[in-house]
Amino acid sequence: MMQQETVPVPALSKKTEQPKECFLIQPKETKEDATKTRRRKKKKITDVLAKSEPKPGTPEDLQKLMKDYYSGSRSVIELEELNLPDSCFLKANDLTHSLSSYLKEICPKWVKLRKNHNEKKSVLMLMICSSAIRALELIRSVTAFRGDSKVIKLFAKHIKVQEQIKLLEKRVVHLGVGTPGRIKELIKQGGLNLNPLKFLVFDWNWRDQKLRRMMDIPEIRKEVFELLETGVLSLCKSESLKLGLF
């Protein structure tokens, strides 16, 4: 019988017998990571507003927002045409008023005005706010001011444009509360005539859960300025329409 050769197994060196330590190497920060970190550190509007004292809105605030919005697309002359006279602004809310007390102050002759109003497809006063939920809150809080006035909801949630047009055609309405987008659409479709309008009040100082005012929300701000251009600005300049900031 042939004797099987055995291959000698090499002895383990002392170095291999020693357990190796495992070090976690931190990956180098890339430019992209650094950018993300900087983005995360950027202050949100909620953080800024939470630390700032609430200040009542002023006519100058509206004028400045309008100029900033149109500065990239309008000439200097066109921007000047957007300026509204001080006489078209009503006294702004100083944050001490309820809605009813504010409206009573800016419109002390409301009862007489609404009794003389008999035009359909129009309102005497429009209140502009950021959402349907907020519109319902405003309608509830205006009870002490409205009296026997007829009020209409002018927002998109659960209500079709054609339904609102039929309501405006059917009866005389004194006060409309809603969002700028839906009001703009009603004007565009001929369902709402602005000529009899005497007061346009912005729900300016109210803040939502994220502490944003109506004009802090880009899409709402855009719709507000588009609404102003549907005839509101020209009525203000002719002094037949007054603007209020609640």
For 203, other C-beta atoms within 10 Å of its C-beta total 23
Locate 30 and state its tokens: 């890339």
Question: Residue 14 in 3-state DSSP?
Answer: helix
The two structure tokens encoding residue 27: 């990956």
With bands split at pLDDT 50, 70 and 90, how would you rate the model's confidence at 189? very high
Interval 34-46: pLDDT, tens: 555 555 555 565 5
Tally Cβ neighbours within 10 Å of residue 107. Answer: 20
User: What CATH topology corresponds to 54-245?
Assistant: Rossmann fold (3.40.50)
Q: Residue 132 corresponds to which tokens in the numbers above?
A: 């349907």
**What pLDDT digit, counting tens, does each position of 124-173 carry?**
999 999 999 999 999 999 999 999 999 999 999 889 999 999 999 999 99
pTM above threshold 0.85: no
Rounded Cα distance, 137 and 227, in Å: 22
Reduce the DSSP state of residue 76 to 3 states and report it: helix
pLDDT for 54 equals 75
pLDDT greater than 80 at residue 14: no
Binned at pLDDT 50, 70 and 90, residue 82 comes out as confident
Beta bridge partners of 178: 128, 154
The per-residue pLDDT for range 191-218, each reduced to its tens digit, is: 999 999 999 999 999 999 999 999 999 9
Domain boundaries, the chain: 54-245
Contact (CB, 8 A) for 142 and 165:
no
User: How much is the pLDDT for 139?
Assistant: 97
Q: What average pLDDT does the chain have?
A: 86
Distance (Å, whole) CA 69 – CA 227: 14
What pLDDT score was predicted for residue 45? 57
Q: How far apart are CA 3 and CA 195, in angstroms?
A: 117
